[in-house]
Structure 1
Amino acid sequence: MVSAQSYFDGALEVLAEHGFTELNVGRLCRGLGVTSGSFYHHFGGWPGFVEQLLDHWENRQVLLLRERNFGSGGPAADFAALMDLTLDLPHEAEAAIRAWAMNDETVRAAQKRVDSARLRTVGRAVKGIVGDTRLARTLTALGMAVLVGHQQLASAGEHSELATLLAEYARLVHSRAG
């Protein structure tokens, strides 16, 4: 028996390697070596799967931050945890989700929730470091642009060095400490 988690992992792999247009029941089931009956048993149908996949993707970040003790070590520790989390994101899959969001309202709503949550979370840590709300908003927007830009380039085969970009971003934020 294949778990729902296996389907989610398989879906993220398909998204990363082939994009959202290739994500379908047949491809997932073939990749997992199961019949479509297993898929329908877990999710009832495609809309149920998409809803659960997006919930899994959204909630993954919350769980990862909890594992990194986010919120317990002060703004600098939280910012460092966020930078580590950013390095570990499934970037090619996220780029495919962003492309999918341009074509599907359900996915677009999930993408907006994820973007809003990231802006709030990073913004809170950045504000804790720089002390100024306006500057924190600007620096947070810059960080989001670095992430999304990297993901778009990586999905197009341009694997820029995200760790280097994030290190420069972190230096910028810390240089503006209040």
Structure 2
Amino acid sequence: MPIQANTCTTDRQPRLTGDDWVEAALALLVQDGIEAVQITVLARKLGVTRGSFYWHFDGREELLAALLGEWRARNTGVMIEAVADKQTLDDGILALFSVWTDHSRFDPQLDQAIRDWARYADDLRPVLQAEDDARVAAISGFFQRHDYEPTEAFIRARIIYFTQLSYYALNMQDQEAPEQRLSYLSAYFMGFTGREIDPSTAEKYLRTLLPEGQGA
């Protein structure tokens, strides 16, 4: 009697990519912190064996490096891109505001998780500092392109960036309705830039974010 090939697929493990492992690790990092990001825990969550992990990574340290790379791409990259090619001051500042209010682009929980991790990892602190410096430099450069002298541009960049970080750290996004925050748009713009925003630009921006019927 010929031996039939086993065609049952119920015991097969899912075909995972390295990105799947990174995404699962990022979720675990945000939820439970860096100590929870362990290969066995991730394998259990993904429904595979530890062996599956080693198809994509040499070890946990390589996975952690991938997490940092993804964080840089998401949270620093999107911020730099926001002000890279904006031709007016209004458009650049509003592009930054858009990044910070759209958590599908800038992930504040991931940013905070990385900062929590850095408190216990001496080697991560210079990495975090470098990313903060890169973000401030991008905003400062944007201000300089719009006729602010270098020192003022740098200080304004720090003010706008550190204010946003504090907003996240204090969980203000959970305490202040988006409509309320957006109602301060013109005042925020004046405070951050020392200039008035063009009313028509502000109105157009608010129309893209507020429910129909609400505006500046």
With structure 1 as the length reference, what TM-score do the two structures score? 0.79
Q: Which residue of 1 aligns with 2:51?
A: 37
Instruction: Provide the rounded CA distance (Å) in 1 between the counterparts of 2:109 and 2:139.
Output: 21
What is the aligned partner in structure 1 of residue 37 from structure 2?
A: 23
Preserved CA contact (<8 Å) 1:79 1:125 = no
Match for residue 128 of structure 1?
Answer: 145
Task: Name 2:6's counterpart in structure 1.
Answer: none
| Alignment partner of 1:96 is 2:113 | yes
Distance 1:95 1:170 in 2: 25
Compare relative contact order (CA 8 Å, sep 6+) and give the higher one, 1 or 2: 1
Which residue identity does 2:117 align to in structure 1? W
Does 2:194 match 1:175?
A: yes
Q: Structure 1 residues 3 and 113 mapped into 2: Cα distance closer, same or farther (>3 Å)?
A: farther
Change (3 A) 1:73 1:139: closer
| Structure 2 contact 39–60 (Cα < 8 Å) conserved | yes
Cα separation, 2, equivalents of 1:11 and 1:122 = 30
Match of 1:148 among 141, 165, 168: 165
C-alpha separation in 2, matches of 1:98 and 1:138: 22
Within 5 Å, give how 1:47-86 maps onto structure 2.
Answer: 47-61=61-75, 64=78, 70-76=83-89, 77-86=91-100
Q: Give the match for residue 116 of structure 1.
A: 133
Contact 1:101 1:107 in 2 (8 A): yes
8 Å contact kept, 2:39–2:53 = yes
- Displacement of 1:106 in angstroms is 3.6
Say whether the 8 Å CA contact 2:118–2:125 is kept in structure 1. Answer: yes
Hey, what's the Cα distance between the residues in 2 that align with 1:143 and 1:159?
20
Question: What RMSD in Å do the two structures reach over aligned CA positions?
Answer: 2.9
Question: Residue 40 and residue 105 in structure 1: after superposition, are their counterparts in 2 closer, same or farther (change >3 A)?
Answer: farther
Unaligned runs of 5+ in 1: none
> Does the 8 Å CA contact 1:75/1:125 hold for their aligned counterparts?
no
Aligned partners of 2:112 and 2:169 also within 8 Å:
yes
Q: What aligned pairs does 1:153-168 form with structure 2 within 5 A after superposition?
A: 153-154=170-171, 159-161=174-176, 164=181, 167=185, 168=187
Per the alignment, do residues 73 and 140 of structure 1 end up closer, same or farther by CA in structure 2, a change over 3 Å counting?
closer
Identity of aligned residues (%): 22
CA drift of 1:56 comes to 1.9
Say if 1:71 and 1:90 are closer, same or farther in 2 by CA, change over 3 A.
Answer: closer
Question: Which has the higher mean CA deviation after the structures are superposed, 82-91 or 49-58?
Answer: 82-91
Deviation at 1:95, TM superposition (A): 0.9
Aligned residues: 174
- Using the size of structure 2 for normalisation, the TM-score is 0.67
Give the helix-richer structure, 1 or 2. 1
Structure 1 residues 95-131: Cα deviation after superposition (integer angstroms, max 9, x where no partner): 1110111211343232122111111111122333461
